[in-house]
Structure 1
Amino acid sequence: MNPNDTPLFYTGRTEAFDQTFDAWTDRPLLRSMEEGGVDWPSSCRNGNCRTCIGQLVSGTVRYDIEWPGLSQEEKAEGYVLPCVAHPCSDVVLKEGY
């Protein structure tokens, strides 16, 4: 796949309320969720406060920052910070721990 094959957005879904949203590749998931009408907890928007933490039920994300405020164990268990996580595929998120 070359860069021109990368879609502009993927499909995002929240598990608890089965809300769907366009998960744009050029912005963090939290912003895409808010633009799509999804009410997700947030505060700092820079990966530090962990208010927006969620678990990635399916899909993959990338971070533009080196250390997004998650432990290695949390990353291994699929936890993400939507305020700084960008989608790399369709995603399904579960809120909190």
Structure 2
Amino acid sequence: MVADDEGTHAVELCWSDGRTETVRVGSDETVVDAAEAAEIALPYGCLYGACGTCIAELLDGEMTHRRSPRALKDRTLEAGYVLPCIATPETDCRLRIGHDIQAEVVGTPWK
């Protein structure tokens, strides 16, 4: 998986209901920014990596966080989760996304 001539990577967004969308993400933008520009709604809150609302599972590819992903513990990072609000792809990627992932990873006070 290699960037195209424009320096972008394809990021396939996969929801739990089976829907998928692919967005091109430039090296200077985050996944959330690229999705917004393509009019694809993703969950997010703070856009700084602190709240964890946008947490996603990296299924394939490589991503880098632009700053410390404060909302993710080391074990969560090691398990392959990323924060699309501060993450940029290093290769073409596949992400499992949606509101249910935060509850799955972090838990909720109602369970």
1:36 equivalent among 15, 34, 38: 38
Segments of structure 2 that go 5 or more residues without pairing to the other structure are 105-111
Give the aligned CA root-mean-square deviation in angstroms: 1.7
TM (norm. structure 1) is: 0.86
Equivalent residues of 2:12, 2:94 under 8 A apart: yes
Please give the alpha-carbon distance, in whole angstroms, between the structure 2 residues aligned to 1:7 and 1:93: 21
Please give the alpha-carbon distance, in whole angstroms, between the structure 1 residues aligned to 2:55 and 2:5: 26
SS in 1 for 2:43: coil
| Counterparts of residues 8-87 of structure 1 (less than 5 Å) | 8-16=7-15, 17-65=19-67, 67-69=68-70, 70-87=72-89
- The structure with the largest alpha-carbon Rg is 2
Please give the alpha-carbon distance, in whole angstroms, between the structure 1 residues aligned to 2:27 and 2:8: 5
TM (norm. structure 2) is: 0.76
Task: Using the aligned pairs only, state the percent identity.
Answer: 27
Q: How far is the alpha carbon of 1:47 from its aligned partner?
A: 0.3
1:89 equivalent among 77, 91, 99: 91
Which consecutive aligned stretches of 4+ in structure 1 deviate over 3 angstroms post-superposition? none
1:13 corresponds to which letter in structure 2?
E
**CA separation of 1:73 and 1:7: change in aligned 2, threshold 3 A:** farther
Number of corresponding residues: 92
